[in-house]
Amino acid sequence: MLIPLNGTIDLDVMKSMSVFVEVASKGSFAAAARSLTLSTTSVSRHVIELENWLGVTLFLRTTRKLSLTEEGAYYLNECQNVINDVEQIRTTANQALVQPSGTLRITAPVFLAKECVQRVFPEFLAAFPELNIELSAVDRFVDLVDEGLDVALRVGNLPDSSLIAKGLGDVRLVIIGSPSYLSSAGKPKSPIDLKNHNCIVDTIAIFKNRWPMKVGGKRRNVVVSGNVTVNNGEIARDLAAQGVGLALLPEFFVLDQLKQGDLVEVLRGKVDSQVGFYAVYPQSRHVTPKVRAFVDFISDYFVRTNET
């Protein structure tokens, strides 16, 4: 393998290798210069610089003839191999831009991960069959760089960081309960009535037991309580559907249950908050094709979802 010697390969050395190969192919500096649209002086300079870098003489020069030295013949083959390898790398990279491939490592809160698995991933994988997905569903803050992840899906306020956050839209919060619970406990008519209801508190949510409401035209955090506290939105939803009490959750997370009548929204228009939904990924000069494909796809997906 070529690379001796007294330095690493940089772009100038690669250029000199290409010129050297062209001179050997054409048999003269002048012919190579015409082929490369360079001056003969520039071609000669590239060959000399490559000789200096390698520490060998590549050509025997006479007024009538230009011929490779023994070392020149050896390094001609090696230079061609390097050029071919670099071209293969470039071609592979360009192909990846057309068709993202490899493994995409995604993290999301458990409830959001389940929604993506059921709704987004099948369609995404059908569109990009060369991609594999590794999903980490955890209800904790995840450092993407430290844990080698590509993208995080997050709901709520984001801490300041060096990550890039692509907004996927605002998520409306809704208060929901089952028909059986509301039949027994009655529907709250105002945010203050929540104090008289059994409310399921989700400690993972940014609001916890201080539900953001509109009271008298102003925002007010109403402190709620109940006999169940959870740290998972899915459990809060399922408990509400089973008649345990009221829960405050992102609307998209309970759409199916609302449509089926398993849950009913109460105090519509009285919840004074929307939470942001984001795809977050590390900064880079060139976002990888697989990350770009996923972020664009899920952004478009939720735009379409919100329009229906």
Q: How confident is the model at residue 308 (pLDDT cuts 50, 70, 90)?
A: low
pLDDT digits (tens, 9 = 90+) for 62-108: 777 889 999 999 999 999 888 888 887 776 666 555 678 889 999 99
pLDDT in the model for residue 87: 81
102 φψ region: left (φ > 0), alpha (ψ -120 to 50), beta (else): left
- Which residues, in sequence order, are CB contacts of 70 under 8 Å at separation 6+? none
Residues 255, 260, 261, 262, CA torsion sign: negative
- Which residues, in sequence order, are CB contacts of 78 under 8 Å at separation 6+? 1, 2
What mean pLDDT comes out for the span 298-308?
A: 73
Measure Cα distances from 65 to 28, 68, 99, 115 in Å: 8, 10, 49, 73
- Higher pLDDT, residue 217 or 125: 125
pLDDT in the model for residue 149: 92
Residue 162: DSSP 8-state: S
- Higher pLDDT, residue 274 or 253: 253
- Region of poorest pLDDT, from 76-80, 85-89, 247-251, 253-257: 85-89
Q: Identify the top-confidence range among 7-11, 120-124, 170-174, 187-191.
A: 187-191
Q: Is the pLDDT of residue 190 over 80?
A: yes
Q: How confident is the model at residue 4 (pLDDT cuts 50, 70, 90)?
A: very low
In one-letter notation, the amino acid at residue 62 is T
Measure Cα distances from 33 to 29, 48, 60 in Å: 6, 15, 18
Radius of gyration for the alpha carbons in the chain, expressed in angstroms and rounded: 32
Measure Cα distances from 40 to 15, 27, 30, 47, 254 in Å: 15, 13, 6, 11, 73
Q: Can you read off the two tokens belonging to residue 242?
A: 């089973």
pLDDT in the model for residue 3: 41
Q: Is the pLDDT of residue 288 over 50?
A: yes
pLDDT in the model for residue 306: 60
174 φψ region: left (φ > 0), alpha (ψ -120 to 50), beta (else): beta
Question: In which element (H, E) is residue 73 found?
Answer: helix 70-98
Q: Is the pLDDT of residue 2 over 50?
A: no
Q: Can you read off the two tokens belonging to residue 262?
A: 């398993």
Closest CA to 200 of 228, 223, 220, 178: 228
**In this structure, are residues 194 and 188 in contact, taking their beta carbons and an 8 Å threshold?**
yes
What share of the chain has pLDDT > 90, as a percent?
A: 50
Helix (H, G, I), strand (E, B) or coil at 277: strand
pLDDT digits (tens, 9 = 90+) for 17-63: 999 999 999 999 999 999 899 999 999 999 999 999 889 999 988 77
